[in-house]
A and B are shown apart, each in its own frame.
Chain A
């Protein structure tokens, strides 16, 4: 019996004009680790909705074809019945927690299955130990961080030992460390428990190494269904936005096979004699500091934020941003990145220290939808601003009906609009749920702001995005600045806060992107090719 069998499945959401899934036929065998790839609105989340039964039972709409999930016909079994065999994890941990304590949250799906109190208690302990969240069991779910909530939600999805686990961008809110931990855990579940994994993800470089198979979707149809290497070779020609940096590098050097992970890429480069020799660690050059009294768009002087009866979220942060500088702020969940941006934008006041602003500070928070207060896009901004943001055609649309990328552009245009242009632009996790082309567009926009003299500071967990726009990188830990240097220095030398290209090349010469690597290694390849 397959974990998932779809036969000519088409589905249209209520009120939608175009179908979200078009004649989908595919099978996923028990124990497979399948990654769903595709741009925004390709149909990944809808396919996961079919796997969990929310489509069509919860969302309604028009459904055609036959779907069987773990042997249950979707027409006869709704999400509640499927929940016996299917665990589901959505993108937003905020709405996936329904109980007040972690223990109650993990017990909830087991109680729904009618497990005895003893079996429920045992199940809770086991899943908590498996996920390493046993210390959280008595904690209130309200007090958990985003990463902790995502792990607890995963625990609730896993508590009944489901045969199929459907996950919709589960790492999008996690820092690289927590994201890697989650993916390692999924791999372990897949290998040791035989759980079938169906994972939708935009940052493919993080998960292809664990996958058996990749299904690429476009406009609700399967456009590629292959092993990771086969998928990457297909993507190189047909969908470059889905290609991982490692695959771009290897394909650019005309090498094979396309690498599903860092290890495979290094092996291919080593075999071709192109893998740079490990360099002895060199001391980082001291960071350029802006101690002068002039020309700073934003200056934080020993800023503290100490909670009453709690820890210090910021602990003596001092930094300065020059006009036109593009800064990326990195760090684990809870390191203080969002708090720092809120202080910069005067949403929070430091408990100690001082902040000097060279003009208005615009801040785009994590949820662009929070900025919209009107029923028409045209009421949020004037026509000229909409035109500049490339949203002129959406004036009559409701902001909630715009795509994720459009909503973010609209929110960005709102915060940077107004009579007084901003001196500083802060963005908090702007790439959540974005596909690669949307990220590239955002990076271009940020570079445009910088060219107009706006200092840009972005908190992100995405090293690839950081490498695409930043001229300076700051690493925060426990509310302190622990590194402040060039992106080449910071993003090339680490394990977690490093781009895939940097990890492949072992930090060689601070190379961060596939394009930089091709420029460097392409010459070496030519030299090797010309050897007698």
Chain B
């Protein structure tokens, strides 16, 4: 959840364009229903993370998304009644009724899980590669109060992470260490103090009387142009899928040549901006 400065094309692009690029990846995940294209999109997001030098951070989002994805698949398989191709009969499930696992329910669950994985990976990519300061500055031009809240919130994340580490260490120094719950309580109790400290700092830096920031004239770099074009292409390709891939009552859709072309184009659009490595040194 913290921004990492890296020498990468995505970091070199302006924050609004970087955010738009990550947003386009997430939008595509929400729009595309074809599992093959979604899978390619997931790989493209991981590739984008690697291209931005934050591959580890993006991959770590799987720690959070993978268990949730498995849960989605399992729950959908158990509760969905829309499929016709039964692959397993589990008998009477009490309040859930007859538990028949259908291929369609499993496939739809897997597709939903894939969407979740892409969304969280896209969010991880944005948090690690899009400069929050620049983004907040842009936001302040639109909504001052929201920007204030967002500023405090974004600053609190690394601060609380530091607090948690420090308090955890202090607890290990106690002859009778407090449990995880006690540490959580201590950190939570710190939140109010910390947010007040941050708010006081914002006050004395003049944030309370801030005027709408002036627009900074900054020429469009090759990376701004590349990622803007990429975001547009990703959105366009996601919307260009001819027909939705449907799952119920039976799986309907085919992995035709057009699907492969589209998947390849999507991957190319997502990763091409990373090929340009000029002017990226921090």
Contacts and interface: CB of A to CB of B under 8 A. Distances in A.
Interface of A: 52-54, 57-58, 78-81, 83-84, 86-88, 90, 92, 94-101, 104, 108-109, 111-117, 138-140, 142, 156-157, 160, 342, 345, 347, 360, 362-365, 367, 370-373, 400, 414-415, 417-420
Given A54-B204, A98-B205, 10 more contacts: A79-B200, A80-B209, A83-B204, A98-B198, A100-B3, A104-B131, A104-B137, A112-B207, A113-B206, A347-B172
Given A112-B206, A370-B167, A98 B151 contact: yes
A112 B183 CA distance: 37
B208 interface: yes
B186 interface: yes
Which residue of B131, B159, B172, B203 has the most chain A CB atoms within 10 A of its CB atom?
B203
B206 A362 contact: no
B79 interface: no
A64 B151 CA distance: 33
B155 interface: yes
B166 A367 contact: yes
Instruction: Give the secondary structure class of B's interface.
Output: helix
21 contacts: A78-B208, A79-B200, A80-B203, A84-B209, A94-B159, A97-B155, A98-B151, A98-B201, A109-B206, A112-B210, A114-B211, A117-B216, A140-B5, A160-B206, A362-B173, A362-B175, A363-B173, A365-B170, A367-B166, A370-B171, A371-B173
Interface string B239-277: 000000000000000000000000000000000000000
Interface in B160-209: 162, 166-167, 169-176, 178, 182-183, 185-186, 189, 194, 197-209
Contacts of B210: 80, 111-114
A100 to B, nearest CB: 5
B241 to A, nearest CB: 37
A360 B174 CA distance: 11
B132 interface: yes
A140 to B, nearest CB: 5
Contacts of A104: 131, 133-134, 137
Interface in B129-149: 131-134, 137
Contact of B202 (A84, A98, A114): A98
Contacts of A363: 173
A101 B3 CA distance: 10
Interface of B: 2-5, 131-134, 137, 151, 154-155, 158-159, 162, 166-167, 169-176, 178, 182-183, 185-186, 189, 194, 197-217, 282
B175 A419 contact: yes
Nearest to B175: A418
A470 B205 CA distance: 42
Which residue of B131, B132, B170, B199 has the most chain A CB atoms within 10 A of its CB atom?
B170
A90 B199 CA distance: 13
A471 B212 CA distance: 59
B185 A94 contact: no
